[in-house]
């Protein structure tokens, strides 16, 4: 790990990192442009051609089924089209994934309308964008001039049922670097299942991050090119790059870690990185690299000392029920919420912040962990403080719209968030563990709405931008926490059941699923999470831990501990 930090420190000194260069498992539909090259041969379940005398609705349904083929150019799907349409139709112009239950109804002679739930869209880089809850409709025109009904006007791209999409596509992370160069940041992508995945994934890395986070991360592979197709032999890949003739050792080290961590997800445990056919020759880095060689860049990491904390009657407690050190643990401040940052190098707990309320005024207080906390800012309200694992700073939102950043040893600064005020009053604000994203809950007429934005740092200016909804089907969000840099835990109302339920969801909106409430004494009111940590929840004035599929007491075998507002230092 020391080797990684030294190399990346040199990278930062050289200025490389100075500039900032989903599909739900239970939701509606997805639009996708060609995400990866399909294999030449058949893979998985293959469709059947049109049956003689098939009705228009059956022809449209058959075309949708045939779109799930992994044979290049989709020859069976083209059999459902007229000759001219089969020649002109492009299967790489986009994919729409619809729910398994859809309707195909003839609205008039030779016209079939397909109606389904919309899940979202996946662009040409494999980036998913969740649907906004609208109903998907598409009309197909058919002719029987040949004696059999055939489609005349297919839209370019593929129309897939959700189960077929899940069968033929895999979600993997393309990793880029946070601005400090200390941590990899996940950028979820969907790639076609099969042997072409390693090459497709490296191509996505070279093409760069998605537009949602592009301004918040750096890409050491920018301007590089693949000299040959990525080759794999068992669990080893060879990536031969060109366009890096003038690259420093620091940049080569950074892109090596980027490649190794990304390719490890598709079963490649070691990677040979070449430049123009020759080894990189990086000092202290073996020719065959693994994630162990770049452990310092691990995206999912929590400091050893970052145990769970919560509040009891305004006092700061650790997850074992013991008071935190110092006046905060003694209840001296009457805390309503709190956050603690951890040193990125040593893991030691450091900058601590809390919110107190008295006489209608809210006060943000801060200081060292275990030491005295002093007032730094007042206002009508503050969201519960939040920290990231890459910088010693605390963030909060004052009076529902002013984003505040408090650096360790510095004065509070207002962060530019140009679109936040127009979206609603912010009631929650949580930084991702890598500090590149922010989860924000804003008040709407329907209730709390969850948005995810990007933290952009240029020189001395920090901005939160590109706020977008990732759970449009949830309209009563009351709490959110980062389970990992690429996934969230969300506490929201379930209108059908009239209860509050925890959900898990990817940062892009894919995979929205409920989390068990088994073991909780009542409805949860707050939730906490961190990478490689078991989630915490508050319910009926007590704090609980999710373990083995059930919520259990913080101290195994003991009575529940009284408390609220759980959180993990990061």
The pLDDT value given to residue 9:
43
Least Cα distance to 442 among 469, 413, 404 occurs for 469
Of residues 260 and 344, more confidently modeled: 260
Q: How far apart are CA 439 and CA 479, in angstroms?
A: 10
The encoded tokens of residue 483 equal 């389970």
pLDDT level of residue 497 (50, 70, 90 thresholds) = confident
* Greatest mean pLDDT among 88-102, 115-129, 472-486, 493-507: 472-486
Q: Which of 188-192, 232-236, 497-501, 507-511 shows the lowest mean pLDDT across its residues?
A: 497-501
pLDDT level of residue 433 (50, 70, 90 thresholds) = very high
* Greatest mean pLDDT among 71-75, 233-237, 336-340: 336-340
| Bridge partner list, 504 | 489, 513
- Cα–Cα distances (Å) from 42 to 73, 385, 532, in that order, read 12, 53, 39
The pLDDT value given to residue 359:
84
pLDDT (tens digit, 9 = 90+) per residue, 449-466? 999 999 999 888 999 999
Q: How far apart are CA 27 and CA 470, in angstroms?
A: 12
The pLDDT value given to residue 129:
83
| Bridge partner list, 403 | 397, 415
The pLDDT value given to residue 486:
97
The pLDDT value given to residue 303:
87
User: Where exactly are the structural domains of the chain?
Assistant: 30-168, 309-567
Question: Which distant-in-sequence residues (6+ apart) come within 8 Å of 497 by Cβ?
Answer: none
Q: How far apart are CA 373 and CA 354, in angstroms?
A: 8
Q: Is 238 helix (H, G, I), strand (E, B) or coil?
A: strand
The pLDDT value given to residue 161:
93
CATH homologous superfamily of domain 309-567? TolB, C-terminal domain (2.120.10.30)
Q: How far apart are CA 206 and CA 219, in angstroms?
A: 8
Q: How far apart are CA 451 and CA 466, in angstroms?
A: 9
Q: How far apart are CA 538 and CA 467, in angstroms?
A: 28
pLDDT (tens digit, 9 = 90+) per residue, 81-112? 999 999 999 998 778 888 999 999 999 999 99
The pLDDT value given to residue 154:
96
pLDDT (tens digit, 9 = 90+) per residue, 365-422? 999 999 999 999 999 999 999 999 999 999 999 999 999 999 999 999 999 999 999 9
Q: What angle do CA 181, 216, 449 make, to 5 degrees?
A: 130
The pLDDT value given to residue 42:
40
Burial class (CB in 10 A: 0-12, 13-18, 19+), 38: buried
Q: Check if the beta carbon of residue 495 is closer than 8 Å to that of residue 516.
A: no
Sheet holding 158-161, edge to edge: 128-130, 120-122, 30-32, 95-98, 158-161
Average pLDDT of 132-137?
A: 89
The pLDDT value given to residue 45:
67
The pLDDT value given to residue 401:
96
pLDDT level of residue 477 (50, 70, 90 thresholds) = very high
pLDDT level of residue 22 (50, 70, 90 thresholds) = very low
pLDDT (tens digit, 9 = 90+) per residue, 38-56? 444 444 567 899 999 999 9
Q: Is 566 a residue whose pLDDT tops 60?
A: yes
**DSSP string of 21-90, one letter each residue:** ----TTS--EEE---SPPPSS--S----PPPTT--HHHHHHHHHHHTT--STT-HHHHTTB-HHHHHH--
Measured between alpha carbons, how far apart are the two ends of the chain, in Å?
A: 19
Least Cα distance to 300 among 6, 533, 457 occurs for 533
Neighbours of 226 (CB within 10 A): 15
The encoded tokens of residue 514 equal 């409920």
Q: Check if the beta carbon of residue 342 is closer than 8 Å to that of residue 354.
A: no
The pLDDT value given to residue 44:
52
Q: Which CATH number fits domain 30-168: 3.30.70, 3.40.1440, 3.10.450, 1.10.760?
A: 3.10.450
Round the average pLDDT of the chain to a whole number and report it: 91
The pLDDT value given to residue 16:
41
Model-level pTM? 0.89
Percentage above 90 pLDDT, the chain: 81
Q: How far apart are CA 179 and CA 569, in angstroms?
A: 21
Q: How far apart are CA 24 and CA 87, in angstroms?
A: 33
């Amino acid at each position: 790990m020391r080797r990684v930090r030294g190399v990346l420190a040199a990278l930062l000194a050289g200025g490389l990192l100075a500039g900032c260069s989903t599909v739900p498992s239970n939701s509606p539909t997805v639009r996708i442009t060609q995400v990866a090259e399909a294999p030449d041969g058949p893979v998985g379940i293959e469709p059947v051609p049109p049956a003689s005398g098939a009705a228009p609705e059956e022809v449209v349904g058959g075309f949708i089924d045939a779109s799930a083929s992994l044979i290049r150019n989709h020859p069976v799907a083209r059999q459902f089209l007229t000759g001219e349409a089969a020649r002109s139709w492009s299967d790489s112009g986009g994919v729409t994934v619809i729910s398994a239950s859809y309707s195909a109804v003839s609205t008039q002679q030779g016209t079939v309308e397909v109606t389904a739930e919309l899940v979202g869209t996946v662009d040409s880089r494999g980036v998913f964008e969740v649907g906004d809850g609208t109903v998907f409709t598409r009309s197909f025109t058919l002719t029987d001039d040949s004696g059999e009904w055939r489609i005349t006007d297919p839209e370019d791209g593929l129309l897939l049922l959700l189960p077929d999409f899940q069968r033929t596509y895999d979600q993997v992370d393309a990793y880029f670097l946070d601005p400090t160069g200390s941590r990899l940041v996940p950028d979820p992508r969907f790639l076609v299942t099969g042997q072409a995945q390693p090459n497709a994934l490296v191509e996505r890395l070279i093409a760069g991050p998605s537009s949602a986070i592009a301004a918040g991360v750096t890409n050491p592979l920018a301007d590089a090119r693949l000299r040959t197709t990525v080759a794999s032999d068992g669990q080893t890949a060879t990536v031969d790059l060109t366009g890096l003739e003038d690259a420093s050792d620091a940049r080569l080290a950074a892109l090596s870690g980027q490649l190794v961590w990304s390719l490890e997800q598709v079963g490649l445990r070691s990677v040979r990185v070449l430049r123009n056919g020759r080894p990189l020759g990086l000092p202290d880095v073996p020719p065959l690299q693994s994630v162990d060689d770049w452990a310092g860049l691990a995206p999912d990491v929590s400091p050893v000392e970052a145990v769970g904390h919560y509040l009891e009657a305004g006092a700061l407690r650790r997850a074992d029920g013991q008071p935190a050190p110092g006046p905060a643990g003694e209840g001296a401040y009457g805390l309503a919420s709190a956050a603690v940052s951890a040193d990125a190098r040593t893991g030691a707990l450091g900058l601590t912040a809390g919110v107190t309320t008295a006489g209608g005024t809210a006060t943000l207080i801060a200081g060292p962990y275990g030491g005295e906390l002093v007032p730094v800012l007042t206002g009508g309200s503050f969201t519960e403080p939040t920290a990231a694992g890459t910088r010693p700073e605390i963030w909060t939102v004052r009076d529902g719209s002013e984003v505040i950043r408090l650096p360790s040893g510095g004065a509070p600064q207002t962060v530019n968030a140009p679109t936040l005020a127009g979206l609603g009053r912010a009631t929650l604000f949580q930084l991702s563990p890598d500090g590149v994203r922010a989860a924000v809950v804003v008040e709407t007429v329907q209730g709390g709405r969850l948005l995810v934005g990007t933290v952009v740092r240029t020189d001395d200016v920090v901005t939160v931008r590109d706020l977008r909804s990732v759970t449009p089907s949830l309209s009563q969000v009351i709490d959110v926490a980062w389970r990992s840099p690429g996934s969230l835990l969300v506490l929201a109302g379930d209108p059908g059941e009239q209860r509050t339920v925890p959900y898990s969801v990817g940062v892009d909106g894919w995979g929205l699923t409920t989390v068990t409430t088994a073991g909780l004494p009542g409805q949860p009111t707050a939730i906490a999470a961190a990478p490689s940590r078991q989630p915490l929840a508050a319910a009926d004035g007590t704090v609980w831990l999710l373990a083995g599929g059930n919520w259990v007491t913080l101290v195994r075998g003991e009575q529940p501990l009284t408390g609220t507002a759980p959180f993990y230092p990061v």
